Amino acid sequence: MTELTYRQALNDTLRAELTRDENVYLIGEEIGVFEGSYKITAGLLKEFGPKRVVDTPISEEGFTGVAIGSAMLGLRPVVEIMTLNFSLIAIDQIVNHAAKMYGMFGGRVKVPLVIRTPGGGGQQLAATHSQNLEVWYAHIPGLKVVAPSNPADAKALLTAAIRDDDPVLFLENLGLYNTKGDVPDGEQVAEIGRAAIAREGTDLTVVSYSRGVVTALEVAEQLAGEGISIEVVDLRSLRPLDRVTFCESVKKTSRAVVFEDDMLSYGVGAEISATIGEAVFDWLDAPVRRVAAAEVPLPYAKPLELAAMPDAAALTKVIRETLAASGYRK
Amino acid sequence: MADTRRPAGARRTAKQGGDSAETLRGYYEQMVLVREFELRASEMYARAKIGGYCHLNLGEEATVVGLLAALRDTDYLFTTYRDHGYALVRGMEPGAVMAELFGKTTGVVGGRGGSMHMFDADLRMLGGYGIVGGQIPPATGAAFAIDYRSKAGKNAEAVMCLMGDATTNIGAFHESLNLAGLWKLPIVYVIVNNRLGMGTPVELASAEPDLYKRGSAYRIPGVRVDGDDPVAVRDAAIAALDKARADRQPSILETMSFRLKGHSVVDPARYRSKEDNEEAQANDPVPAFRNRLLKAGALDEKTADGIHDAIEKRVTDAVDFADASPDPSPSELFDAVYATPVANESRAYPGDPVTTVESVAS
């Protein structure tokens, strides 16, 4: 076990996979000489050279498609798209091509591709650079979408994604890069498609993913001081979605709140709460609530940005309201 | 309209003197195969044996045969949605191609792709593609993979990426050419110019209608060739592929031909003038090549008719094969979603419970 930042866990994993398999290469804007916009690829160009760490022009559709074509021939590209927002420029290649090829060509070609990209607001980057578009991709069969919340999962899920024979969107978050956590030493390969219980509890289940899990764990800790026992489910994978794990949790707690960074309407929480409503309705003591972003293009000014983003205070308030709605008493 | 058939940039490297009669007859036979197959596909579409979109290579036969005569087994081919002829001449069985059109399990991709998505990894034909221009970045990526793994040389692998004339206006084309030019990738971008993007003439779609020049911003050279002449197309394609193999020099090859029918089988092409249609028919490459071979003594009427009859039988056999093949079963619906099996993959049919896991349902 070593304590690492999320950034360092990613950097170490990329290095390990580049070393292990010469078909693995990195491709993206400013990942080499500049060492990455967020320094995830720091030092790797020096270590592995320009063949394995490929700087590209600003050309998301082009280089994402290049990665797809190279994957069809058996290479294992790891694409960095500078932020999730810019993935929209490559969306035809991701959705109409990478996601479709295996099925549409009758299972006769594999596309072992990873697209790493950070989403998230809170950095005063204004509306076009602060989005959480994960459901756009989670909606698409053929893609796998993972969103690790901590350095250990970042390592184990990135390793799994690189070794997987399908296209995987690996969602990072600007707000997570400097967070720290214990990371098991040696090779770690997670199973994609499995949620985790990040904290056990008995009174209410908070379902979240990526950065939201960090906030949810803080809130759970805070409420534990009042004797309220919160269980936190970390989805880890948005496609496939591990419905069983959060439904089992709700059977235990009978209450659920979804905490998500994306928009409320048609968001991750809509899928979670619909699933709970359908699968474990009889166990529920209160309606499932969702804490999500305000539905505005995210403003630059700090007070407005903060007002739009789901935070610990909003989650705490909704947890209390959900407990009250079900006649909860300690 | 200017005569674009033999423009300044054209290469009519007609080396037919150097080709054996057998080779030329082989090209003719392949052209007839494409022609007869497509006519039959059109008929089968009218009889509702084929669904969806169906774009035919009618008028493109010489281009298909010339390009594929230049392509080696070790090369990779990416095409557009107008891909039946390329699939056939690259070596897919006519029965399997027809079965794909019929949506049968014996189709080249098991009935999952249909007309626009012919694919055979062994033949290195890595797809028909339905999204205009969508194939260009992956084709460029295939060239990237070749360059990643092997050195340039006259025996090196290369990629041929086809597109239509209208595709040269899309961003993916320009981004890909920039990357190929920058990284010196072994690829030939073939622009099959049939003068119409659906119903829009090239001159109304491209600010530079001499499409072979469109690589100039990326230092990618281009040539234009008569797409109705399989030998000329072949020679120009060989020259371009050689540069890709030996020098890692990407290039453009523009082939000029006419679309004999509508954009797809359901398009009556009423937007075309009588003169335009007459010009297209007058340039039909199949009878033209037949006459050329007859004149040159490479073919006689009896042999030509024999070829035609044999092909017609092959196509009839293909239809019979497709007809007799089994439909896929709904139980196979989820068989080709992920290459690596994954936990919690949804296998719910419409109307099924959201989760059927017993522990949750109980």
Contact B344 A279 (CB under 8 A): no
Contact B339 A107 (CB under 8 A): yes
* Assigned domain for B241 exists: yes
- Please tell me the predicted confidence (pLDDT) of residue B5: 42
B334, β-bridge pairs: none
Q: Which of residues 5-24 of B touch A (CB under 8 A)?
A: none
- Please tell me the predicted confidence (pLDDT) of residue B321: 98
Nearest residue in chain B measured CA to CA from A74: B145
Distance in angstroms (rounded) separating the CA atoms of residues A161 and A166: 8
Q: Which two tokens stand for residue B75?
A: 């090369």
3-class secondary structure per residue, B169-180: HCHHHHHHHHHH
Q: How many CB atoms lie within 10 A of CB A21?
A: 13
Record: fold of A196-325:
Rossmann fold (3.40.50)
Q: At CB < 8 A and 24+ separation, what contacts does B213-219 make? A: B213/B9, B214/B168, B214/B173, B214/B177, B214/B252, B215/B177, B215/B181, B215/B189, B215/B250, B215/B251, B215/B252, B217/B174, B217/B177, B217/B178, B218/B174, B218/B177, B218/B178, B218/B180, B218/B181, B218/B182, B219/B181
Q: Which residues of A touch B148 (CB under 8 A)?
A: 25, 51, 70, 75
B189, β-bridge pairs: B161, B252
User: Quick check: is A278 catalytic?
Assistant: no
Mutation choice for A interface testing from B117, B124, B355, B357 by most A CBs within 10 A = B355
Chain A, chain B: beta-carbon pairs less than 8 Å apart:
189
Query: CATH 3.40.50.970: which residues of chain A?
Result: 2-183
- Smallest Cβ–Cβ distance between B141 and the set A68, A144, A247 belongs to A68
* Assigned domain for B5 exists: no
* Assigned domain for B277 exists: yes
Q: Which residue has the tokens 């597109």?
A: B163
* Assigned domain for B6 exists: no
Task: Give the domain extent around B101.
Answer: 16-361
- Smallest Cβ–Cβ distance between A103 and the set B143, B336, B340 belongs to B336
- Please tell me the predicted confidence (pLDDT) of residue B7: 42
DSSP B55: -
Which CATH number characterizes residue B122's domain?
3.40.50.970
Number of domains in chain B: 1
Q: Does A205 touch chain B (CB under 8 A)?
A: no
Reported confidence tier of residue A330, pLDDT bands at 50, 70, 90: confident
Query: With contact defined as beta carbons under 8 Å apart, do B68 and B123 qualify?
Result: no
Q: Which residues of B touch A248 (CB under 8 A)?
A: 359-360
Q: Which residue has the tokens 């030509």?
A: B304
* Assigned domain for B116 exists: yes
pLDDT tens digits, B46-85: 999 999 999 999 999 999 999 999 999 999 999 999 999 9
**H or E stretch covering B101:** helix B94-101
Please state whether the peptide bond connecting residue A240 to the residue before it is cis, i.e. omega within 30 degrees of 0.
Answer: yes
Residue among A47, A22, A24 nearest A35 (CA) = A47
- Please tell me the predicted confidence (pLDDT) of residue A329: 81
Q: Name the minimum distance, in Å, from the CA of B119 to any CA of chain A.
A: 6
Contact B138 A65 (CB under 8 A): yes
Query: With contact defined as beta carbons under 8 Å apart, do B144 and A70 qualify?
Result: yes
pLDDT at A2 over 60: yes
pLDDT tens digits, B21-46: 999 999 999 999 999 999 999 999 99
DSSP symbols for B172-238: HHHHHHHHHHHHT--EEEEEEE-SEETTEEGGGT-SS--GGGTTGGGT--EEEEETT-HHHHHHHHH
Marked catalytic residue, from A29, A129, A231, A305: A129
**DSSP-derived 3-state class of residue B168:** helix
- CA-to-CA dists, residue A310 to A207, A317, B57, angstroms: 14, 11, 55
Measured in degrees and rounded to the nearest 5, phi and psi for residue A256 equal -145, 140
Q: Return the amino acid letter for A211.
A: R
pLDDT tens digits, A22-72: 999 999 999 999 999 999 999 999 999 999 999 999 999 999 999 999 999
Instruction: Please list the ranges in chain B whose pLDDT falls under 70.
Output: 1-17, 356-362
Q: Does A55 touch chain B (CB under 8 A)?
A: no
- Residue range A2-183 forms a domain whose CATH class is alpha beta
Q: Name the minimum distance, in Å, from the CA of B261 to any CA of chain A.
A: 27
User: Quick check: is A129 catalytic?
Assistant: yes
Query: CATH 3.40.50.920: which residues of chain A?
Result: 196-325
DSSP B139: H
